[in-house]
Amino acid sequence: MPGTQLPIEPERRLTWEQWQAGRAERRRIGNLVAPPIIRRAESSSDQRLRATFNGERGPAFNKPF
Protein backbone atom coordinates (compact mmCIF):
# COMPACT_ATOMS: atom_id res chain seq x y z
CA MET A 1 0.00 0.00 0.00
CA PRO A 2 1.78 3.10 -1.14
CA GLY A 3 1.65 6.16 1.06
CA THR A 4 0.96 4.32 4.33
CA GLN A 5 4.27 5.16 6.00
CA LEU A 6 4.57 8.40 7.90
CA PRO A 7 7.74 10.39 7.35
CA ILE A 8 9.97 10.54 10.42
CA GLU A 9 10.26 14.21 11.20
CA PRO A 10 12.76 15.57 13.77
CA GLU A 11 10.01 16.38 16.28
CA ARG A 12 8.77 12.76 16.10
CA ARG A 13 12.12 11.11 16.81
CA LEU A 14 12.61 9.36 20.14
CA THR A 15 15.68 9.35 22.28
CA TRP A 16 17.02 6.01 23.45
CA GLU A 17 15.65 6.70 26.94
CA GLN A 18 12.18 7.53 25.58
CA TRP A 19 12.18 4.33 23.52
CA GLN A 20 13.24 2.27 26.57
CA ALA A 21 10.49 3.82 28.69
CA GLY A 22 7.92 3.06 26.00
CA ARG A 23 9.19 -0.51 25.68
CA ALA A 24 8.97 -1.00 29.45
CA GLU A 25 5.37 0.22 29.40
CA ARG A 26 4.46 -2.08 26.48
CA ARG A 27 6.04 -5.00 28.36
CA ARG A 28 4.11 -4.11 31.53
CA ILE A 29 0.82 -4.01 29.61
CA GLY A 30 1.64 -7.29 27.86
CA ASN A 31 2.36 -9.00 31.17
CA LEU A 32 -1.22 -8.20 32.25
CA VAL A 33 -2.60 -10.53 29.58
CA ALA A 34 0.13 -13.17 29.29
CA PRO A 35 2.83 -14.60 31.53
CA PRO A 36 6.25 -12.95 31.19
CA ILE A 37 8.01 -16.30 30.63
CA ILE A 38 6.42 -18.49 27.97
CA ARG A 39 9.30 -20.89 27.37
CA ARG A 40 8.48 -24.58 27.77
CA ALA A 41 9.95 -26.31 30.78
CA GLU A 42 10.87 -29.32 28.65
CA SER A 43 10.39 -30.72 25.17
CA SER A 44 10.94 -33.88 23.16
CA SER A 45 14.17 -32.37 21.77
CA ASP A 46 15.77 -31.73 25.16
CA GLN A 47 18.35 -34.50 24.90
CA ARG A 48 19.60 -33.30 21.49
CA LEU A 49 19.54 -29.63 22.49
CA ARG A 50 21.38 -30.17 25.76
CA ALA A 51 24.06 -32.21 23.98
CA THR A 52 24.50 -29.44 21.42
CA PHE A 53 24.48 -26.46 23.80
CA ASN A 54 26.58 -27.73 26.73
CA GLY A 55 23.70 -28.77 28.98
CA GLU A 56 21.42 -25.84 28.10
CA ARG A 57 18.32 -25.96 25.92
CA GLY A 58 19.57 -23.23 23.59
CA PRO A 59 22.48 -20.94 22.82
CA ALA A 60 23.57 -18.34 25.35
CA PHE A 61 22.32 -14.88 24.53
CA ASN A 62 25.00 -12.22 24.46
CA LYS A 63 24.33 -9.00 26.31
CA PRO A 64 24.20 -6.10 23.81
CA PHE A 65 26.32 -3.77 25.95
pTM of the model: 0.45
| DSSP notation for 25-56 | HHHHHHHHHS-S----S--TTHHHHHHHTTTS
How far is residue 42 from each of residues 7, 9, 19, 64, measured CA to CA in Å?
45, 47, 34, 27
- CA 18 – CA 37 distance, rounded (Å): 25
Specify the pLDDT at position 29.
Answer: 92
Specify the pLDDT at position 9.
Answer: 76
Q: Report the candidate in 18, 22, 40, 42 with the shortest Cα–Cα distance to residue 30.
A: 22
pLDDT by 10s per residue, the chain, length 65: 566 777 777 777 889 999 999 999 999 998 899 887 777 778 888 899 889 988 888 887 776 65
